[in-house]
Amino acid sequence: MTRAVVPNGMVPGRAGYRYAYRGPTLCDLSANSKAGIPPAAWVLVVVTPALDSDGGQLVVTADSAGRLLHPLWTFTRPTIERGKRMKNYPSWQPTGIDVDDPVLVETDPGEFWVGSDTYLSFVGGTPGDEYDVSVTFRTTRDEVDAERTIDVYEPAFEYTLTSAFKENGFVNFPQAPDYHSGFNIAFGAAQVVVGGVGTVPLGNSPLKKPLPLSLGRFQVQTGVYVTTGAL
C-alpha cells in the first residue's frame, strides 16, 4: 500500500500527464522475466481515499471531468517479434499522437490483463487530496521457452473510465481520453446530438452496449457515466 498525494498542476487529459504520480514498472510480470519474455499477468489496481489517524476516510473530490485519482497505463508500441500479438492495438492514432508514440490509456482501478511492457502512473483528482494505492499481480503461465509460450489469442486489455457530474440541466460530456471509443450510462439521463438527425434521448439506464463516441456530441446531467475501450 502506497500513500499518493495528487500533485499541484493536475488537470484532466494530456495536460495533466506531466504531473502524473508514478507507480511501478510492470515489465517483469512473467514467470521468467529474465529471459526477455513479454509480460503475462493479471494486475489488480486498488485506489481508495486515504485513512486519517482515526481510521476514517479522508474526503476527496473529483476534477472538472468528474474523475478521481485513477490509473494511466503507458504501453510501448509493439514490434513484430516472435509472433507478438498486434491485432488489438489501434490502427489509428488520436489527433496529435504520432504512430510511434507510446499508447497512454486512462482507466478506472480494477483488474487487467497485461501482455505488453508497460508502466503505471496515476492521474485525476484534486491537487492535495490523498489516496491509498496498491498494485498486485498474478502470473498465469509457466514460461520456460519464449517461442513456445507466445499466446496470440491472449485477452485484450479492456478498460472503462468513470465520470460523475452534478448538473441542473444537460451539459456537454468532456472529451474522452485517448483510445476510448464507447459511451455508456451507469445512472443518470443522457442524450446525444447527431448531425442531420437532431437530439436523441438515451434514457437514464445502462445501455445494452456502449454507443460509439463518434456518433455525435454526448450530453449528460447529474449522474455517473463511463467511457470504454480495448487494446
Instruction: Render pLDDT for 142-201 as a digit per residue (tens, 0 to 9).
Output: 555 555 454 555 667 889 999 999 999 999 999 899 999 999 999 999 999 998 889 999
pLDDT of residue 84: 46
Give yes or no: residues 90 and 62 share one domain.
Answer: yes
Give yes or no: residues 55 and 131 share one domain.
Answer: yes
Give yes or no: residues 53 and 139 share one domain.
Answer: yes
Give yes or no: residues 188 and 139 share one domain.
Answer: no
pLDDT of residue 19: 95
Give yes or no: residues 76 and 172 share one domain.
Answer: no
118, 153, 188: which is the final residue of a domain? 153
Q: How many domains, the chain?
A: 2
The Cβ of residue 122 has, within 10 Å, a number of other Cβ atoms equal to: 24
Rounded CA-CA distance 105/139 in Å is 22
- The parent domain of residue 149 ranges over 2-153
Give yes or no: residues 175 and 143 share one domain.
Answer: no
86 within 8 A of 35, measured Cβ to Cβ: no
Give yes or no: residues 34 and 81 share one domain.
Answer: yes
Query: What pTM was estimated for this model as a whole?
Result: 0.84
Per run of 10 residues, the mean pLDDT along the chain (length 231 residues) is 92 94 73 58 92 89 96 76 51 79 92 83 96 85 51 72 94 94 96 92 95 96 95 81
Residue 9's φ and ψ, nearest 5 degrees, are 95, -10
b/e burial code for range 172-200 (CB count within 10 A of at least 16 → b): ebbebbbbbbbbbbeebbbbbeeeeeeee
228 within 8 A of 182, measured Cβ to Cβ: yes
Give yes or no: residues 121 and 146 share one domain.
Answer: yes
67 within 8 A of 13, measured Cβ to Cβ: no
Give yes or no: residues 44 and 71 share one domain.
Answer: yes
121, 153, 185: which is the final residue of a domain? 153
Of 39, 17, 21, nearest in space to 30 by CA: 39
Rounded CA-CA distance 133/175 in Å is 26
pLDDT of residue 82: 44
153, 187, 202: which is the final residue of a domain? 153
Give yes or no: residues 113 and 137 share one domain.
Answer: yes
Give yes or no: residues 105 and 171 share one domain.
Answer: no
Give yes or no: residues 145 and 175 share one domain.
Answer: no
DSSP codes, 172-218? EPPPPPTT--EEEEEES-EEEEETTTEEEEEESS--SSPEEGGGSEE
